[in-house]
Amino acid sequence: MEQSILYCQKCGAANDLLAQQCFACKYDLHELLIDADEEILLQHRYRLLFQVGLGGFGAVYKAQDIQQQHKIVAIKKIMLRNLTMQETIEATDGFNREVSILSRLSHARLPRIYNHFTDQHNWYLVMDFIDGETLEAYLQRPEQPDATRLLTLTETLDIGIQLCSVLDYLHTHNPPIVFRDLKPGNIIRTPTGKLYLIDFGIARYFKPGQARDTLQFGSPGYAAPEQYGKAQTTTRADIYSLGAILHQLLTGIDPAENPFHFGPLRLYATTNLAALDQMLQKMVSIEVDQRPASIQVVQAELERLYAQHNPSSHQVRPPGTLSIAKPLATNTTTSSSTNGQQQMQRPAPARLLTRRHTIQRMLALGILIGGVGGVGGLVANQFHAPTHIPVKRFNILHTRKQQDQGGVNAVLYAPQGDYYASSNARGSVNIWNGQISDPVASMQVSPTSIMALSWSYDGKYLACVTKKEVYMMEVLRDTSKGDAIVKLLDPALVYSGQTQQSDTDTTTYTIAWAPKNYILAIVDTLQGTTHLLQFQPPTNQFIEIGHYTNTLINPKVKANNENHYLAWSPDGRQIVSITARNQIAFWNAQNTRIIHSWSPEVASTITMVAWQPGDVYQILVIMNNTFCFIDTNGNTKYSYTFSDSVTDLAYNSGFDGVFIALNNGDIYCWNPQLADPYLIKNGNDTLAALNSITLAPSTRSPVLTAALSDGNIITYTLG
């Protein structure tokens, strides 16, 4: 089929075939065309043949792998050049999510990933080439492109069974994978009727003259109600989306034009389809608990119905082997299948609203939509976080992915705030510009993962810890030529307590520099001991000035963040720690004497402890998912229990509040003197684990940086 749209190879926008200049980026389109006589090789192995479509923030090409007997592959090209910061982040997240998920999966109806690589301005993903069209394109009627045509009952059931098969594979994966954006545009149909699920990054498409709609919760009409609010998205969200698709195939009604409204089926020429109608209404139920318990339940019912309405078949046909019905000339009747089964629907209403207008109307109404035709009513607060946790957003400034592809374990701003450090699973430490997150220095410290970081009070020294040793590096800054040039000196081994350790034992250290001098506190969690080391810059030596027994540290505590077993008071005179008796102990950092100790009022295992900045009389105590502000005498002033365990904290003396990271990826901000905690980042926005957060010091607006297990480092500003 001749291509009627010309995609800009610079920004990815779709233009009219006769256009001379890209409407989006103003580049000369004909200067960017691929010369048919010019051979373009990527990575010296992939020969681009021609462009087949637009995917995400770029184009998709059919290509040959000349190193694999000219195997045909698809190459998705993500073009970052000229994207806004927000668009860059969205493109980055989608690319990383697709690589992360698909590289771990193996299913006949999922594209395989063979390679991924980058150049200066583009990211590339090499995967299976699937020869076909989207289900969305297949459903378009030639005589009325904006309308959806009907499919026969047999073909609809076959489509449902095929999609159930691949969804069951995803849902039973460990951990389960929720596709979250199941819709006809993300399903490829081959000429033989086989279906493939594509785009795990939630692709966005450009259209001539139309701005791109960016909605993080999925596609309106197909997205389950819980995807619009704080409620956890489960595998039942995909069941809802599948129900919306099946309803569309049988009625011709695009769910995006009237979201959450699914009328009953009216299959006049068929009988005993009440079970199908009942199941579809359950699948698109507003209440999650009213939907089928699993996709396996849905598949079993679809297979039963298929066998019932195809009596010539003694068993359910393998997916994709059915004969394909011809496109309909009208929207009223269709005749298909070997047994002469007929199906008739009332004509679908004409499309009255564009998808964008539907979205705008939904947002303007605050998603106040009622259900009809067996779908229960919907109340507004089902889409929002509880009223006592007002939702606020972070505006994303920038995101960077470490080039060594190691998952980032920790991030920490230097005291001056002009730089921050990160450590990763490959044993590297990187220094980043605090304003624009550009990398400025890097050092391979250890062959094993670096778990935590700690800056000296003046930012001249950076300590880092593996599960075996503690290292320290000097950080040099040269400001003689304007912008500071940062250099990391070779790391020095500071401490290792592994001489008596067996191969199966591992030690996790807490490290913490004193706030006003060069004293480094090190907690050996295997032995439950604490060491105070005095660093002497002239000789670059550490001298142990204190060694405390395991009565001061609880070695059995499995904290969610290993760098919170111990904390210094703001004046550097005291240290607070978790004792072996699950108590909070305060001891004098000068003479090693315990000042006093007590047990929290809440009877639970203490997992983290910190000292509130700027307040020598108040500490922060975490017991799994319970967060407490407690004074040094043991009196609880404020307490709050979150939905999941606390994994990290971020705070400084210039901001009246604490940022709290949870195990599920949520981030909250809490100033207990003003209000309850409020959500600022939803953990559902990525499959990567949130490992660490850090707050930039002395900024007008709070600037928070987060480290993720997929290698991303994301910086936010609270707006």
| Binding residue ranges for ATP | 77
The number of CA neighbours under 13 Å toward the Cβ of 49 is 15
Phi, psi for residue 472 in degrees, rounded to 5: -140, 145
Point out the annotated binding site.
Answer: 77
Do 346 and 266 meet the contact criterion of CB atoms below 8 Å apart? yes
> CA 535, 537, 540, 541: dihedral to nearest 10 degrees?
-30
The CA distance from 293 to 299, in Å, is 12
Phi, psi for residue 171 in degrees, rounded to 5: -70, -25
Do 284 and 276 meet the contact criterion of CB atoms below 8 Å apart? no
Q: Residue 439: enclosing H or E segment and its boundaries?
A: strand 439-444
Q: Is 241 exposed, middle or buried (0-12, 13-18, 19+ CB in 10 A)?
A: buried
CA angle (25 as vertex; 20, 30 as ends), nearest 5: 30
- Cα separation values, 17 from 3, 36, 338, 438, Å: 8, 17, 43, 39
Dihedral-angle region of residue 482 (phi above 0 means left; psi in -120 to 50 means alpha; beta otherwise): left
> CA 575, 579, 585, 591: dihedral to nearest 10 degrees?
-60
Q: Which two tokens stand for residue 318?
A: 């393998």
Closest CA to 429 of 415, 460, 448, 417: 448
The CA distance from 238 to 292, in Å, is 11
> What is the SS3 assignment for 279-311?
HHHHHCCCCHHHCCCCHHHHHHHHHHHHHHCCC
Q: Is 316 exposed, middle or buried (0-12, 13-18, 19+ CB in 10 A)?
A: middle
DSSP assignment of 358-376 equals HHHHHHHTTT-----TTPP
Do 233 and 383 meet the contact criterion of CB atoms below 8 Å apart? no
Q: Residue 100: enclosing H or E segment and its boundaries?
A: helix 85-102
Please state whether the peptide bond connecting residue 175 to the residue before it is cis, i.e. omega within 30 degrees of 0: yes
Q: Which two tokens stand for residue 135?
A: 């289900």
- Cα separation values, 264 from 280, 283, 405, Å: 9, 13, 50
